[in-house]
């Protein structure tokens, strides 16, 4: 029988590790888009680009598994089994974060999503601190039967699984339950940009657009400058993303990178400081927008006409000329370019809507959840 001291230490380790796992899993599960972006980054670094289309599935599953593992540790459900999973995952991610800190240039491991930023070294030492705790928990429950679930444990396992996977799935089809990003409701984007510039963060005029295309035949990615015309061969190249490079810093989701433009120039100030209501219709790819979303966007255009507001489409898809787009027969809407990462920072959805009132974010909607009854209020 384990000593009383070992029981106390093991319980402290179990609860502490469980809370860390549950918190880490939850803050990532509420933002599956952000986690998917981080998964894509790691897949690209390690040469597994072919798995990137499944990054959202990985995101929801990984976050859900971590949240579920934390809950099961806290409530002492099949502790030996969960401690084995925890030990395996902690060993894997400790090695991964060590590689990120020493060999692979990753600024943030993403272990706490956008809620808490940790450097690879900070994450590595955090993992080193938790790993012995998990070992203690495993040792304490090493004689427990792995699959001998009681009826209560079966019920709790099903409940925790439903919660863990349900949170990520819900936030994927809607928006994050908690918005940890700078573009929250009530934020004035242009004032934030000006504040960044006043602190000397960077000069927006130094930005350079980089177009990323995939060769339809070989599947390899290639980067083009905006002046290069080779990417215009649609039979050969498929657009992947548009990003903004800066001479002094890597691509980041900084407020100062928020730029709305088209071939005629930068219209960021004009749109973000416009009085009244502005409907920013966020579309990742105009050619892949669903019929249902087009119909919802058409209703937004009609609402903008009714209340005297301005409806514009912002997309990372490269625009060769001044572009207008009709959403399911709506009036033509002017389209502008925005960096793909900035767009995903503004709105965690494939397509959706951001409503500005006198420059202040008044509402954010996934395309499937646009509330037409409230847009006119």
Strand ranges (DSSP E) for 195-273? 208-215, 221-225, 237-245, 261-262, 265-266
pLDDT at 199: 58
Helical segments of the chain, H only: 4-29, 32-45, 55-74, 79-102, 120-140, 151-173, 189-198, 268-272, 291-307, 340-346, 372-375
- Domain borders along the chain are 4-173, 189-199+267-375
User: Tokens for 164?
Assistant: 């863990």
pLDDT along the chain (377 residues), means of 10: 83 97 96 91 85 93 96 96 96 90 76 86 93 96 91 96 96 92 91 73 55 77 75 75 53 65 90 94 92 93 92 91 88 92 92 95 93 59
pLDDT at 373: 61
**CB neighbours (10 Å) of residue 227?**
6
Enumerate residues 6+ apart whose C-beta is below 8 A from 2: 10, 140
CB burial readout 230-253, b (16+ within 10 A) else e: ebeeeeebebbbbbbebeeeeebb
Q: How does strand 237-245 pair with strand 221-225?
A: unpaired
pLDDT at 331: 86
User: Tokens for 239?
Assistant: 């657009």
189-199+267-375 maps to CATH 1.10.110: no
pLDDT at 230: 77
Three-class secondary structure of residue 45 per DSSP:
helix
pLDDT at 258: 87
């Amino acid at each position: 029988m384990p000593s009383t001291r070992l029981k106390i230490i093991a319980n402290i380790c179990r609860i502490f590790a469980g809370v860390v796992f549950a918190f880490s899993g939850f803050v990532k599960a509420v933002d599956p888009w952000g986690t998917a972006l981080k998964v894509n980054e790691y897949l690209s670094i390690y040469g597994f680009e072919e798995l990137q289309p499944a990054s959202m599935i990985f995101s929801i599953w990984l976050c859900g598994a971590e949240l579920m593992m934390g809950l099961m540790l806290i409530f002492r459900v099949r502790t030996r089994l969960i401690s084995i999973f925890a030990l395996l995952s902690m060993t894997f991610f400790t090695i991964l974060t060590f590689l990120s800190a020493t060999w692979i240039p990753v600024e943030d491991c993403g272990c706490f999503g956008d809620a808490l930023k940790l450097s690879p070294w900070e994450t590595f030492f955090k993992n080193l601190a938790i790993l012995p705790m998990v070992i203690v928990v495993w040792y304490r429950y090493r004689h427990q039967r792995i699959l001998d679930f009681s009826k209560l444990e079966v019920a709790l396992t099903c409940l925790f699984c439903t919660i863990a996977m349900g949170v990520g799935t819900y936030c994927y089809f809607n928006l994050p339950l908690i918005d940890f990003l700078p573009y929250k409701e009530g934020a004035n984007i242009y004032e934030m940009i000006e504040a960044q510039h006043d602190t000397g963060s960077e000069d927006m005029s130094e930005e350079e657009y980089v177009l990323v295309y995939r060769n339809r035949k070989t599947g390899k990615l290639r980067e083009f400058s905006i002046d290069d015309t080779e990417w215009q061969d649609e039979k050969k190249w498929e657009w992947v993303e548009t990003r903004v490079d800066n001479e002094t810093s890597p691509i980041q989701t900084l407020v100062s990178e928020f730029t709305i433009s088209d071939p005629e120039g930068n219209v960021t100030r004009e749109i973000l400081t416009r009085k009244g209501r502005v409907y920013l219709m966020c579309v990742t790819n105009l050619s892949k927008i669903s019929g249902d979303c087009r119909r919802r966007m058409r209703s937004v255009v009609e609402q903008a006409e009714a209340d005297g507001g301005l409806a514009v489409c912002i997309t990372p898809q490269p625009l060769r000329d001044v572009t207008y787009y009709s959403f399911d027969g709506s009036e033509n809407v002017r389209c502008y370019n925005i960096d793909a990462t900035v767009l995903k920072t503004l709105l965690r959805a494939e397509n959706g809507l951001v409503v500005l009132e006198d420059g202040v974010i008044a509402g954010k909607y996934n395309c499937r959840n646009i509330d037409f009854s409230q847009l006119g209020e």
